[in-house]
């Protein structure tokens, strides 16, 4: 019987040798590419979602963490550090503990989802809540790694990009060719950089006939790449992408321009509406930031900017259980109140409208 071996072993021939000497894996990758008829109907395109919440720690970060931690282990590293809005810290904590390393994480105080905080603590990370936002955390983490014996595992580490590019390979392997368009949320811009690299490598080697247009979406209150300048105080309910100074700025712009793509903003309302459609109609529960790509293609479809019949893959980046409270809100901001019944079959049938 075959079991998925994790992205390093599955794509060994497309990854650098230095990540393969000491492999630290939790079986990441091999995530479902799910047809989304509800989104196809709304856009007139052929829409699929790449469900990255199905990775071991519930986000796409695991693809890059297996390579970053494996490379660090190969060099004999004892400790790693990252700045994070939550998912990177959860992933770094899990892979570091697996490798027997110490992991320090710097997170913005009070602005990270409960599920992610719990994961970092459960996996034994040294969690520091910083009086500042993600961008402040990243500056501090970079300086710490420069001055002390601790390796940085944010996506500015090229080993992260190598691992994350495997998601593009999986999409092409599943569909038989690259889609026309690939949509995704953009925060620190590591993932758009990684997908672009993966799609280009497959196209250049003949494994795909083309590379897709990259459509990146930022939250309106945290959209530096759309505005063209850094945002000092980014704000959005999509805390995973509450980032004002993306580290991979130039790479994101290059991915957009070289692929004939776009980077646009979606409002928190559009993100929450897309989040609801994903759960209630597609059957895929994601955290709010992960719905930004879907919000983006819906907005573009409404503006008549989605080519009819085009094939679109939208990457949904993190699991809904990371930040589940949003599901218990009504569209107008109220609380969902569960219906109470007595433990009696007739009253239950009555409430259900059964006769
Ligand atoms: N979606 C989710 C769920 C994320 O956690 C992130 C980034 C992104 C999208 C954006 O990806 O930064 O590569 O452009 N989260 C980072 C973290 C910043 O610390 O977990 P990006």
3-state secondary structure labels for all residues of the chain: CCCCCCHHHHCHHHCCHHHCCCCCCCCCCCCCEEECHHHHHHHCCEEEEEEHHHCCCCECHHHHHHHHHHHHHHCCCCEEEEECCCHHHHHHHHHHHHCCCEEEEEEECCCCCHHHHHHHHHCCCEEEEECCCHHHHHHHHHHHHHHCCCEECCCCCHHHHHHHCHHHHHHHHHHCCCCCEEEEECCCCHHHHHHHHHHHHHHHHCCCCCCCEEEEEEEHHHCHHHHCCCCCCCCCCCHHHCCCCCCCHHHHHHHHHHHCCEEEEECHHHHHHHHHHHHHHHCCCECHHHHHHHHHHHHHHHCCCCCCCCEEEEEECEEHHHCHHHHHECCCCCECCCCCCCCCHHHHHHHCCCC
Q: Are 293 and 303 in the same domain?
A: yes
Query: Percent of the chain at pLDDT above 70?
Result: 100
- Give the chain's mean pLDDT: 97
**Pair of tokens at residue 89:** 């810290």
CA of 2 to the centre of ligand 1 (A): 31
Q: Are 92 and 179 in the same domain?
A: no
pLDDT 10s digits, 167-201: 999 999 999 999 999 999 999 999 999 999 999 99
**pLDDT at residue 147, rounded to an integer:** 98
Q: Are 135 and 75 in the same domain?
A: yes
Q: Are 183 and 78 in the same domain?
A: no
Query: Annotated binding residue at 154?
Result: no
Q: Are 151 and 189 in the same domain?
A: no
Q: Are 304 and 228 in the same domain?
A: yes
Res 333 pLDDT > 90: no
Query: Annotated binding residue at 291?
Result: no
In a domain, 275, yes or no: yes
The closest-lying atom of ligand 1 relative to the alpha carbon of residue 90 is: 20
CA of 105 to the centre of ligand 1 (A): 15
In a domain, 119, yes or no: yes
In a domain, 138, yes or no: yes
**pLDDT at residue 187, rounded to an integer:** 98
What phi and psi, each to the nearest 5 degrees, are found at residue 153?
A: -115, 25
CA angle at 306 for the pair 302 and 307, rounded to the nearest 5°: 140
Q: What is the pTM of this model?
A: 0.97
Q: Are 46 and 83 in the same domain?
A: no
In a domain, 337, yes or no: no
CA of 187 to the centre of ligand 1 (A): 6
Domain limit, last residue, from 96, 127, 156: 156
**pLDDT at residue 331, rounded to an integer:** 84
In a domain, 107, yes or no: yes
pLDDT 10s digits, 224-252: 999 999 999 999 999 999 999 999 999 99
The CATH number for 216's domain is 3.40.50.1100
In a domain, 283, yes or no: yes
Closest CA to 57 of 39, 69, 73: 69
Domain limit, last residue, from 156, 182, 202: 156
The closest-lying atom of ligand 1 relative to the alpha carbon of residue 116 is: 20
pLDDT 10s digits, 17-57: 999 999 999 999 999 999 999 999 999 999 999 999 999 99
CA of 225 to the centre of ligand 1 (A): 15
Tell me the CA distances in angstroms from 56 to 34, 53, 79, 87, 331, one per residue in order.
18, 8, 21, 12, 31
Query: Annotated binding residue at 188?
Result: yes
CA of 67 to the centre of ligand 1 (A): 17
Domain limit, last residue, from 124, 156, 188: 156
Res 1 pLDDT > 80: no
For residues 210-233, b (16+ Cβ closer than 10 Å) or e, as one string? ebbbbbbbbbbbbbbbbeeeebee
Closest CA to 65 of 101, 24, 31: 24
Query: Annotated binding residue at 157?
Result: no
Res 137 pLDDT > 90: yes
CA of 345 to the centre of ligand 1 (A): 46
Q: Are 244 and 312 in the same domain?
A: yes
**Ligand 1, atom 7: closest residue by C-alpha:** 240
Q: What are the residues facing 182 on neighbouring strands?
A: 214, 313
Q: Could you list the residue range(s) of the whole structural domain that residue 305 is in?
A: 7-59+160-328
Query: Annotated binding residue at 187?
Result: yes
**Ligand 1, atom 19: closest residue by C-alpha:** 84
Q: Are 20 and 102 in the same domain?
A: no
**pLDDT at residue 25, rounded to an integer:** 98
- For the chain, how far is it from start to end, CA to CA, in angstroms? 48
Res 332 pLDDT > 90: no
In a domain, 67, yes or no: yes
Question: Average pLDDT for residues 95-118, to the nearest whole number?
Answer: 96
Q: Which of 141, 239, 241, 249 to mutate to test the pocket of ligand 1 (most atoms within 8 A of CB)?
A: 241
Query: Annotated binding residue at 293?
Result: no
Question: Average pLDDT for residues 108-136, to the nearest whole number?
Answer: 96
Alpha-carbon gap, residue 51 to 139, rounded angstroms: 31
Q: Is the ipTM of this complex over 0.90?
A: yes
Q: Are 187 and 239 in the same domain?
A: yes
CA of 340 to the centre of ligand 1 (A): 38
Q: What are the residues facing 152 on neighbouring strands?
A: 81
Q: Are 288 and 241 in the same domain?
A: yes
More confident residue, 59 or 110: 59
Q: Which of 59, 240, 287 to mutate to test the pocket of ligand 1 (most atoms within 8 A of CB)?
A: 240
Q: Which of 129, 140, 185 to mutate to test the pocket of ligand 1 (most atoms within 8 A of CB)?
A: 185
Q: Which residues form the pocket of ligand 1, taking CB atoms under 6 Å from any ligand atom?
A: 59, 61, 84-88, 155, 185-191, 240-241, 287, 289-290, 317-318
Q: Are 67 and 36 in the same domain?
A: no
Domain tally for the chain? 2
The closest-lying atom of ligand 1 relative to the alpha carbon of residue 194 is: 13
In a domain, 83, yes or no: yes
CA of 231 to the centre of ligand 1 (A): 17
């Amino acid at each position: 019987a075959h079991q998925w071996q994790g992205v390093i072993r599955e794509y060994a021939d497309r990854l650098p040798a230095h990540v393969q000497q000491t492999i630290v894996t939790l079986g990441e990758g091999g995530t479902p590419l799910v047809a989304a008829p509800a989104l196809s109907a709304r856009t007139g395109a052929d829409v699929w979602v790449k469900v990255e919440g199905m990775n071991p720690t519930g986000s796409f970060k695991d693809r890059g963490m297996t390579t970053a931690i494996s490379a660090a282990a190969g060099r004999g590293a004892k400790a790693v550090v990252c700045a994070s809005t939550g998912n990177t810290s959860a992933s770094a904590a899990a892979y570091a503990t697996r490798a027997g390393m110490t992991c320090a994480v710097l997170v913005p105080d009070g602005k990270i989802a409960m599920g992610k905080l719990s994961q970092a603590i459960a996996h034994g990370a040294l969690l520091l809540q910083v009086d500042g936002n993600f961008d402040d955390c990243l500056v501090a983490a970079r300086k710490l790694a420069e001055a002390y014996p601790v390796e940085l595992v944010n996506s500015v580490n090229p080993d992260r990009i190598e691992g994350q590019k495997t998601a593009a390979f999986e999409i092409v392997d599943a569909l038989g060719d690259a889609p026309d368009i690939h949509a995704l949320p953009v925060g620190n811009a590591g993932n758009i950089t990684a997908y672009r690299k993966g799609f280009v490598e497959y196209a250049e080697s003949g494994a795909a006939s083309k590379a897709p247009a990259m459509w990146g979406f930022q939250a309106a209150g945290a959209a530096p790449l759309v505005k063209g300048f850094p945002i000092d105080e980014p704000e959005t309910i999509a805390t995973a992408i509450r980032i004002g100074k993306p580290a991979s700025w130039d790479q994101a712009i290059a991915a957009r321009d070289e692929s004939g793509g776009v980077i646009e903003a979606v409002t928190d309302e559009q993100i929450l509406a897309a989040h609801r459609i994903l759960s209630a109609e597609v059957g895929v529960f994601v955290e709010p930031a992960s719905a930004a790509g879907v919000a983006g293609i819906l907005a573009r479809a409404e503006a008549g900017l989605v080519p009819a019949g085009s094939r679109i893959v939208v990457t949904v980046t993190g699991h809904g259980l990371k930040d589940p409270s949003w599901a218990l809100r009504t569209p107008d901001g109220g609380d969902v109140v569960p219906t109470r019944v007595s433990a009696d079959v007739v009253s239950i049938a009555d409430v259900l409208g059964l006769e």
